[in-house]
Chains A and B, each alone.
Chain A
Amino acid sequence: MKGIKILFAIAVLVLALAPVGAQDVTTVTMWFSEGSTLDCWGPLMLEFNDIDPSIQLEIVPQANAWDVTRTAVAGGGGPDVVRTPGPSFVYEMAQAGLILPMDTFAESMGWGDFFFDWALDLGLVDGQLYSLSDELETLVMYYNVEVFEENGWTPPDTMDELNALAAEVEAAGLTVFSHGNASWRPTNEHFVGEYWTQVAGPHKVYQALSGEIPWTDESLVEAIELLDAHMQAGWYGGGVDLYFTNDGVYRRTSLAEGSAAMNIEGSWAIRGTVDYFGESGMTWDWVPVPSHDGTDYYTIGMGNTSSINANSPHPEAAAQFLTWYFSPATQGKMLTNCLKGPAPVAIGADVMAELDPRIARLYAELSDASANDRYGYTTWTFWPPKSDVYIYEEVERVWTGEITAMEYSEGLQELFAEELAAGDIPPIPTR
């Protein structure tokens, strides 16, 4: 009888406490595009749930996460953690009051201790922190080591050396750059941004972004003319028309199998490069994109940003997740396990030592460039939205001979001046 009483008392206690326990669990939601990225990132991010049982992360896979997030957030719903494709999108959402300023969280949770100073500045809108940048990116020139060795070539440092090498590559019956934009038309902007930086120099680009000089500046137009000349010469994918029909698979396979010699592409392509070269059995390596004067310039970009939804019922919990997610330990783990581009945080040397030396070198060089004034700007991170779309859409009209490089630059200048006057320019790290 006594045993029954004890059991009854325990049951009553459990029943009484159960709802309290359920209410104590706060669920932080995050929407993520379905696919191989989520397959690798997902399990690692869910390790957050082991830390504190009272805050649980829920990842909701979506067919196209950004489109549905934007629609839902604009309608007063959406996930607690809002991921956007870049700072220019953050700017619009912050202006509309759809995301929260996070300065108090940054201070109380010590985000400044592990983020680089300039990286936190990227998330500022009207002086307040609205987003944290993720996936540090740059563009480099990948090349097929065996193809270079067989032909006795060395990777070029300058545009002149690239010119000379390209002639030899073509004479050998190979494609200079394995490229095409059939899978992703904004690929065009990678080259526009790179040529501006490597030909005119990052300081000129900074001046233009700041409105000090126009986009019709001689050196900037010259960069577009040089890119067009290289396009017309068939360097990119074998010809202008082929460039428009070559897809992502072509880009990877032709480099990995040796029918193309090089490929100017982002650091995000490392994972695909590793996979395709793994299948072909050949070896890849990278060098900085050749510049006019031989200086190693690296354009810096951000693949994503994270913010807190203004309608989140528990922003504090969302901020705690962000603190964990952006910590050097988590970012280091995601870099080593998934080859994810790390957030701009100070990742330990021990983590980098675990990486393929080529990948470790890439991030070390990028870090060195950013510290020594050798960094440039990627268009999708630092240009306002209308100018950004113009950059990758209208440059095709230069390549198809419809307009000249100067006309293209004039059109950009007109649009950029409007956006500059309207204050729509994303934050640019001062030099």
Chain B
Amino acid sequence: MAVLSQKKPTTVFEKLNDETWRRKFLRNVVIPWIFIAPLLLIHIYVVAIPAVQGVYMSLTDWKGVGMNVNYVGLENYRELFFEDETFGKALGNNVAWMIFFLTVPFIMALFCATQLAQVKRGGMLYRSILFIPYVLASVVTTTIWKNLLNPQKGIGAAMDNILGLENTFGVAYLGRPESALMSIAFIDNWHFWGFLMILFLAAMQSIPPVLYDAAKIDGANRWQEFRHVTLPGIRPILVFMFMMVAIWSFLAFDYIFLLTQGGPGGASEVIATQLYKNAFFRFQAGYGAAQGVVISIFAGFIILIFVTVKRRGWDI
């Protein structure tokens, strides 16, 4: 009764003198911040400060060496969007890259995960085999595929030899403007899709089997099971990976740089490879920073779409 009648502290002075309030404050506010503080400080130091610096540098003519920095306002952005023809081309390549990676690996991964989910014996072996490319370094993967796609001694040339053809399959896929970008996407996908498949498979295995049993009792065929049980069951991971792959598409760099360096004739140039060349080869670090900010804005826009959709009631 005495406790019930105790007056709740309202002023700061009263709160500080109240033992219960102090303990609660310590437990709910101070200790969590103490635990998170090291990570937060590191994050501020290695992410937040460089990000703010990057935005500032995008408004300057910084060359990338020394501290001779002149503020130029939005000049870099004006040049990027209204003068630099190659930027539009690179952006188009990024979009093509995104469309490829939002379709081909997802279809492959969903199909194989669905098949593998039903394998009772030896499933781990298949999963491991299909996942191995993902753990290979990009330098290794590109070296392997450079040789495999070599027009004179690669698999295309071997097929031509076997079939008695001439320059039909043994062509320079990476050396032709019309096929270079998609050839790189094919190689990157060879490395990537196994990762997606493992994620989808893990999600599928968490779907209660009773839902499949109920679907069978209702007379559902395989497609209907997939459409009405599997897809809804893995939707959160599916949509999350859609968002991540869309963001990653604007960060594509390593496979392109290792295989064609953006060539031939800019046919496989993307924003990230342009950014690298501007910052490190052309001494236009401020301009490169502006490109980096634009990539971040695109990524933010993609996140915004997903957040909006979620707020409108989608279960993602």
Contacts and interface: CB of A to CB of B under 8 A. Distances in A.
B264 A400 contact: yes
Interface string B174-190: 11110010000000000
B261 A185 contact: yes
Interface in B246-286: 260-267, 277, 280-284
Given A74-B65, A182-B146, 12 more contacts: A67-B280, A185-B261, A241-B172, A244-B263, A245-B150, A245-B151, A385-B282, A385-B283, A386-B284, A389-B277, A393-B277, A396-B263
B65 A93 contact: yes
B181 to A, nearest CB: 13
Contact of A247 (B146, B176, B283): B146
A240 interface: yes
A400 B178 CA distance: 10
Interface of A: 67, 70, 73-74, 92-93, 95-98, 181-182, 185, 239-245, 247, 250, 385-386, 388-389, 393, 396-397, 399-400, 402
B67 interface: yes
B265 A74 contact: no
B68 interface: yes
A92 B176 contact: no
Q: Is the interface of B mostly helix, strand, loop or mixed?
A: loop
Contacts of A185: 261-263
A400 B176 CA distance: 8
A385 B280 CA distance: 10
Contacts of B146: 182, 245, 247
Q: Is the interface of A mostly helix, strand, loop or mixed?
A: helix
Nearest to B171: A241
B70 to A, nearest CB: 12
B265 A95 contact: no
B64 interface: yes
Given A67-B280, A385-B281, A396 B265 contact: yes
B66 A96 contact: yes
Contacts of A241: 151, 171-172, 175-176, 264
Of the candidates B67, B149, B263, the one having the most CB atoms from chain A within 10 angstroms of its own CB is B263
B63 interface: yes
B283 A386 contact: yes
Nearest to A250: B152
Given A67-B280, A386-B284, A389-B282, A96 B175 contact: no
Of the candidates B65, B66, B171, B267, the one having the most CB atoms from chain A within 10 angstroms of its own CB is B65
Of the candidates A241, A385, A402, the one having the most CB atoms from chain B within 10 angstroms of its own CB is A241
A70 B266 contact: no
Interface in B283-305: 283-284
A393 B175 CA distance: 14
